[in-house]
Each structure stands twice: as structure tokens, then as C-alpha cells.
């Protein structure tokens, strides 16, 4: 299962990238807007951090399929040809997906709120489909269950696609889908940090230090005794 960072703050991305086993970075237009920087400057810096093999997801804005294709070509030129183009799973988006597939451009169906949107995107050749877990929860449906349904529909149809589940607000939502074996999740830095934030663990590690310093002296480690 892949773990991506859903963010465009390059300081945060660098920190998380160095600290955890992360596979890539996903952005959307709102995430780029929050950075307040020129989009290709931020994306170039992200590509530098994650290298050519890191997964980078960039969304096209055009509402017509020809426009999406033109944007996709520009995005690949600016950020490298392994970048995945995020295409909203709306009627014209599916036409765009078929055009991207014909050109051999990697893409992902995004803004997925229903199982059939996800299924259609996978059938168009999307490498990933992105259900928005927390946003679905906020509509009064079960975002984790919708994601599982999409995963099942894709898997049982034998389609060569999988989830990049997105829009998480807490670690439990992520855990449910990790346990289910989805292809990938993309998670904001604060929720990734929360995976391992635990005062009791900190206390236990602190106790090891105190005990060892009691034996060998302040600041001592296994290098000094
Ligand atoms: C990623 O593909 C989505 O654009 C993103 O996770 C949406 O997250 P939000 O619901 O926190 O805006």
C-alpha cells in the first residue's frame, strides 16, 4: 500500500518525506492555492524533494476534455512524465480520461463521492480513483464504506486500478482502509503525525533514557559505555 502526503507546503513535505516511508505527494487546486506560491514553482520543488520515482499528483482545471489533455501535456513537461494527472470524475472528465489513456498519460479519477463514479474512472483506465472519505462522511454517508465498495467493484471486475483514498480527518478513517488493503491513501501531514503521536510511548522512551543515564551518566548512550 502506498502512502502519499496530501499537501503543498514544501517544508512540511520535506520533513514528512525524510521521517516516514512515504511514496509521493498529491495536490489539488485548493491545496496549491493555500501555498500562495506560483503552482509550477511549488510543484518543481516537490518533484525535487521526492525525486523522479516519487508519485506526484497534479489536477487539471479545464472543464472540456481537449483542455484537460493540453493541461496534462504542460504539467508533464513542467514536472516530469511520471506525474499523474488528476481528472474529476464528471461526464466530460470521463471523455478526457479516455483521451489521456489513448496518449499513454497516467491519470487518476478524482472528486469521487459515489461507487459508480469510481468504477467508471477505473474502467476508463485510471491508475487510481480517489474517494473523498471525510467529505462523504460530512454528507451523511459512510466514506470508508463507499471506499470499500469501490475497492471491491474494481477488484472483482479485474480492472487494473485501485484506490488513492483521500480527504481524511483522523487516523481511524485511514486505518480502516489500510486494514482493507486499498492500493494507496493520501493524508495531510497533521494526520500522518497523529499516526504515532502518543504520550504513553513518549513516556516509555523517556524512562529508558532516565534509567540508562542513572547507570552510565547524563547524556550517555551505547557509544559511551
Ligand atoms: C485529494 O485527492 C483530495 O483533493 C483531497 O484529499 C481533498 O481533501 P479535503 O477534503 O481535505 O479538501
Centroid of ligand 1 to alpha carbon of 209 (angstroms): 40
Ligand 1, atom 4: closest residue by C-alpha: 28
- 24 vs 34, 76, 83, 186, 208, CA distance in Å? 19, 16, 10, 9, 34
Q: Which residues surround ligand 1 with Cβ inside 6 Å?
A: 6, 26, 28, 110, 130, 132, 134-135, 166-167, 186
Q: What is the pLDDT along the chain (225 residues), one digit of tens a residue?
A: 999 999 999 999 999 999 999 999 999 999 999 999 999 999 999 999 999 999 999 999 999 999 999 999 999 999 999 999 999 999 999 999 999 999 999 999 999 999 999 999 999 999 999 999 999 999 999 999 999 999 999 999 999 999 999 999 999 999 999 999 999 999 999 999 999 999 999 999 999 999 999 999 999 999 998
pLDDT digits (tens, 9 = 90+) for 31-78: 999 999 999 999 999 999 999 999 999 999 999 999 999 999 999 999
pTM of the model: 0.95
3-class DSSP state for residue 85? Answer: strand
User: Which of 59-89 are b and which e, b meaning 16 or more Cβ less than 10 Å from the residue's Cβ?
Assistant: bbebeebeebbebbeebbeebbeebbbbbbb
How many other CB atoms are there within 10 angstroms of residue 30's CB atom? 9
Mutate which of 167, 169, 182 for ligand 1? The one with the most ligand atoms within 8 Å of its CB, which is: 167
Identify whether the C-beta of residue 88 lies closer than 8 Å to the C-beta of residue 71: no
Indicate if 123 belongs to the active site: no
Centroid of ligand 1 to alpha carbon of 139 (angstroms): 15
Percentage of the chain exceeding pLDDT 70: 100
Active-site pick, 77, 86, 98, 220: 86
Per-residue confidence (pLDDT) for residue 23, from 0 to 100:
98
Amino acid at each position: 500500500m502506498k502512502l502519499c502526503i496530501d499537501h503543498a507546503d514544501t517544508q512540511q513535505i520535506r520533513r514528512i518525506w525524510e521521517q516516514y516511508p512515504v511514496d509521493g505527494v498529491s495536490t489539488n487546486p485548493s491545496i496549491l492555492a493555500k501555498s500562495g506560491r506560483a503552482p509550477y514553482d511549488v510543484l518543481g520543488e516537490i518533484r525535487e524533494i521526492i525525486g523522479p520515482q516519487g508519485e506526484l499528483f497534479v489536477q487539471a482545471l479545464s472543464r472540456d476534455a481537449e483542455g484537460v489533455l493540453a493541461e496534462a501535456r504542460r504539467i508533464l513537461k513542467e514536472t516530469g512524465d511520471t506525474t499523474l494527472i488528476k481528472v474529476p470524475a464528471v461526464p466530460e472528465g470521463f471523455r478526457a480520461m479516455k483521451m489521456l489513456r489513448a496518449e499513454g498519460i497516467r491519470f487518476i479519477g478524482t472528486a469521487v463521492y459515489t461507487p459508480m463514479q469510481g468504477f467508471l474512472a477505473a474502467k476508463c483506465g485510471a491508475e487510481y480513483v480517489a474517494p473523498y472519505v471525510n467529505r462523504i462522511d460530512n454528507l451523511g454517508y459512510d466514506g470508508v464504506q463507499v471506499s470499500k465498495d469501490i475497492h471491491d467493484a474494481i477488484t472483482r471486475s479485474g480492472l487494473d486500478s485501485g484506490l488513492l483514498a483521500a480527504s481524511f480527518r483522523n487516523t481511524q478513517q485511514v486505518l480502516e482502509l489500510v486494514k482493507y488493503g486499498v492500493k494507496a491513501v493520501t493524508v495531510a501531514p497533521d494526520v500522518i503525525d497523529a499516526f504515532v503521536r502518543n504520550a504513553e510511548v513518549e513516556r516509555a522512551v523517556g524512562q529508558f533514557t532516565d534509567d540508562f543515564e542513572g547507570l552510565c551518566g547524563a547524556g550517555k548512550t551505547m557509544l559511551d559505555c
